[in-house]
Amino acid sequence: MKKYIPNALTLANLFCGCVAVLFIADNHFVYGVFFAFLGVFFDFFDGFFARKFNVQSDLGLQLDSLADMITSGFVPGLIMFKLLSLSQISWEADTNSFLEPFYNISGSSFLPFLGLAITLASAYRLANFNIDTEQQSFFKGLPTPANTLLIASLPLIVEYQKNDVINAIIFNTWFLLALTLLSCYILNAPVKLFALKFKTYNFKDNSVRYIFLILSVVLLVVLQFSAIPLIIIFYILISFLNNLTTK
């Protein structure tokens, strides 16, 4: 029975990703992002239980990547497509919600389609991960679920933080294009990032992981959804510092 639990969680991840796509395509960003986050949650625990029950398999590895291709590949690309489209549409600053379903593909503009570069970069990263035998206790480049949290946090920040300065930045076309390029690069960058995989639970062996988790919780409590991009940046920085101290 135990051997079926990880794959069941992976399929739950895939289901959440499909639901997220449907909601986001229909301009229900909050619901879509909620299911994307839920999918990332299932994605974390399928690997956790596979290691705990010692039931890792080639089937599970392939199934996990296929599920991630939707939840952590297509979903962030679709969100960026939508945000780039919205950045080209004039909207009133005093609307009750900045994310009312007024989406329009903006004529013949091709610009929003550049957001799907995130999906392509995610696919390349996932394929490369499947054939890389080194990434057992660490990652090369930003994991696709972390990138999904980064991109998916933007609609939540706009919807709930309601900060005019932040909203102006998020809906700036040049910012979104720069973030798209950065996302594509960091997904496949030859940068060693620590993984949240605990072989033991003592502080000495997992000090970096515990410090990261504690500070992440503090940032979320203080800054709410605005903390998510900062947490991803902090994750990258602390990985760099950890690499330097390890050397």
Digit-coded pLDDT (tens) for 11-62: 999 999 999 999 999 999 999 999 999 999 999 888 777 677 676 777 878 8
Residue count of the chain: 247
pTM over 0.75: yes
Instruction: Kindly report the backbone phi and psi dihedral angles of residue 39, in degrees, each rounded to the nearest multiple of 5, phi listed first.
Output: -65, -40
What does the domain layout of the chain look like in residue ranges?
2-90+106-246
Predicted confidence band of residue 242 (pLDDT cuts 50, 70, 90): confident
Specify burial of residue 13 (Cβ count, 10 A radius: 0-12, 13-18, 19+). buried
Domain 2-90+106-246 annotated CATH 3.30.499: no
- Tens digits of residue pLDDT in 206-221: 788 888 999 999 999 9
Contact, 85 vs 104, CB < 8 A? yes
